[in-house]
Amino acid sequence: MPRVIAEFVAFDGPAFLEVIIDPDAGVYPMVGPGMSYAEMITGDFIPSRQKPTGQEVGPAEMF
């Protein structure tokens, strides 16, 4: 696997990397479908880009 990643990074030109993760994994930051970067969900350990409104949307509610 490390060899494949090194080849991908070293490739001179456009490339596509598909990464399959567990659907229950908390991978942050997360930008849901139709959301802007200003609305990204940052998780528990990344500071939010917005001031708290008391109505933050969690990962389960964004879809």
41-53 confidence digits (pLDDT tens): 888 877 766 666 6
Q: Which of 23, 30, 25, 26 is nearest to 48 (CA)?
A: 30
pLDDT score of 14: 93
Domain boundaries, the chain: 22-50
pLDDT score of 40: 84
Say what the pTM is. Answer: 0.38
8-53 confidence digits (pLDDT tens): 999 999 999 888 888 888 888 888 889 888 888 888 877 766 666 6
DSSP string, 2-61: HHHHHHHHH-SS---------TT---SSB--TT--GGG-B--SSS--SS---S-PPPTTT
pLDDT score of 61: 55
pLDDT score of 8: 92
